[in-house]
Copies of this chain bind each other. A is one copy, B any other.
Amino acid sequence: MKLLEERIRRDGEIKSGDILKVDRFLNHQMDPALFYAMAEEWKRLFDGCTINKILTIEASGIGIACVAGLVFGVPVVFAKKSKSRNVSDDVYTAEVPSFTHGGVNTVQVSREYLHAEDRILIIDDFLASGAALDGLISIVGQAGATVVGAGIAIEKAFQPGGRRIREKGVRVESLARLASMEPLEFI
């Protein structure tokens, strides 16, 4: 998606350790108009697929997923990263290693919000190792629901996650696919 690629070129910053900082428009300051254009692109890509719910993971997936939910006309569920007093014990969980913070998060979704008949679009900001997506796919599987596909903003295609997850048969639609970081090149 040209619009997102151009934005990454203009406002993204390459940091050491293969970190692409997109804080200016994606995951600290957010550009809702860009998110709307991204959501319309996923809507076009998944046209004809029955999707009745979007699943994402806190925190930086929430804004993108919520705007996508508006465009798809479906509710959005976000997996929570820590146990809150307000979340029922009756949850699906997955262990997700954190790239940005280090350590492992237990992410959880209440059983109340995922059911066997659900057809889920997973939305997230980044796909690199695929750890977060693995966790979300596992949670959908625990509910007996169907992963229709994953809509990713930025895929680090030089990392193995995207290929590995596509080989499992999951449709992954990444709007910007980085072939390399230095120099910044897209597939």
Contact = CB atoms under 8 A, between A and B. Distances in A.
Given A29-B76, A32-B75, A78-B59, A84 B70 contact: no
A73 interface: yes
Given A24-B112, A62-B62, A30 B85 contact: no
Interface residues of A, number: 44
A131 to B, nearest CB: 16
A104 interface: no
Interface string A53-95: 0000011001111110110010111101110111100000000
Query: This chain: how many copies in the complex?
Result: 2
Contacts of A33: 70, 73
A52 to B, nearest CB: 12
Contacts of A46: none
Nearest to A81: B59
A112 B36 CA distance: 24
A110 interface: yes
Contacts of A30: 62, 66, 69, 75-78
Nearest to A70: B32
A68 to B, nearest CB: 8
Contact of A76 (B63, B73, B78, B87): B63
A66 B59 contact: no
A78 B18 CA distance: 24
A71 to B, nearest CB: 9
A110 B112 CA distance: 36
Interface of A: 15, 19, 21, 23-25, 27-33, 35-36, 58-59, 62-67, 69-70, 73, 75-78, 80-82, 84-87, 100-102, 109-110, 112-113
